[in-house]
Amino acid sequence: MSSKKDYAVQFVAREQAELHAVERDPTPLAPDEIAGSSIVTLISAGTETTGSYSADSGFPRGSGYAAVFQAEVVGAEVTDVQAGDYIFCMGNHRSYHRVKRDAAIPLPQGLAPETGVFARLMNVSLTTLTTTTARPPERVVVTGLGIIGNLAAQNFTHAGYEVFACEPIESRRKVAIECGLKNVLPAVPVADPDIVDTVALVVDCSGHEQAVLDGCNVVRKKGEVVLIATPWRRYTEMYAHTILRAIFHRYVVVRSGWEWELPHQATEFRTNSIYGNLNAGVRWLGEGRMCVAPLATKISPGDAQTAYQNLLHKRNERLTYLFDWTTL
């Protein structure tokens, strides 16, 4: 494989994203590798804006972890992928990808790249879905309907749970309704006697301490409150005692929703895995179970600064952006 220039979205200073030329790996393709040009990559709105775009050091650096590329070169040992196939991978925002076969997921025939790439953000809450003690048709409350929360509510709905999706921002509630979600509420129904003490699981995708407290006050005894969102900053003047008191007296199980609790690949005695869930996500998308068209706006990677600024300052109508690499 000859050395060649590619392009990547890089953060070059605090709150400054630019498209830069980068060197392609010049080493020969390994027998178990696949490589090709990117079609789309998807911004993870919270992690990439608050967690990386707004950071103060470590420049320049790449970002992104959701990509679909079209296979162009296939290693000699790869027998189930052909040139021209669309491949999902956990790749950065760049114009060319090269991955091992066990880190590549071919999209089903007919599944559009801009749809298949959402499997990556579905996966964040699929870890909780496969580790929770709650079982369908129990009640689940999802707090925060950004891109992760919206997909979490859809995941649990399609797995057979009764879902209540809670979000104070009206535009996000409208997107949730557009995606077909039912029981879309402006707040956790902590005063509704028909719901309080009947919820098996609260999935917090807001990172807001009030949402966590509300979750503790709505779950049944020994119900779970799983913290998926990163608490980037403090939102209230609440004392820890307030939440601890609710946890103790209501017998709440509070735990991290750390996505990487699962192994990358299934093992003999542990069948749930990151790539197992990613494959399931791609399959669900291919079967039309998930509604993702209203979630993102497509934009050229050359306009990355506009995308990140809009997300940071909540000026976007949708929940995130797709970079369309075919525009370069």
Question: Residue 38: helix, strand or coil by DSSP?
Answer: strand
Start-to-end CA span in the chain (Å)? 22
pLDDT at 55: 87
CB atoms within 10 A of CB 194: 7
| Residue spans of alpha helices (H) in the chain | 45-48, 113-116, 119-131, 147-158, 170-178, 209-216, 240-250, 274-286, 304-312
For 295-309, how does the pLDDT look when each residue is reduced to its tens digit (9 = 90+)? 999 999 999 999 999
Rg (CA), the chain: 20
CA dist., res. 263 & res. 278, Å (int) = 12
Cα(127)–Cα(272) distance, rounded to whole angstroms?
Answer: 9
Structure tokens at 7: 């392009």
Kindly report, residue by residue over 113-138, the tens digit of the pLDDT: 999 999 999 999 999 999 999 999 99
Helix (H) or strand (E) holding 202: strand 199-204
**Tokens standing for residue 251:** 């017998």
For the ranges 154-158, 216-220, 312-316, the lowest mean pLDDT is seen at 312-316
Please name the residue that has the structure tokens 């809450």: 125
Confidence of residue 3 (pLDDT cuts 50, 70, 90): low
Residue 153 confidence class, pLDDT cut points 50, 70, 90: very high
Residue whose C-alpha is closest to residue 237's, from 209, 204, 207 = 209
pLDDT averaged over every residue in the chain: 95
270 DSSP assignment: B
Determine which of 92-96, 195-199, 231-235, 319-323 has the lowest per-residue pLDDT on average.
231-235
Distance CA 325, CA 304 (A): 12
d(CA 108, CA 267): 25
Q: Set out the domains of the chain in order of their start, with CATH numbers.
A: 5-118+292-327 (3.90.180.10), 123-261 (3.40.50.720)
pLDDT, residue 2, reads 46
Report the C-alpha gap between 39 and 275 in whole angstroms.
21
pLDDT (0 to 100) of residue 1: 40
The two three-digit tokens of residue 111, written as one number: 């599944």
> Pick from 34, 112, 123, 99: which is nearest to 71 by CA?
34
Whole-model pTM: value is 0.94
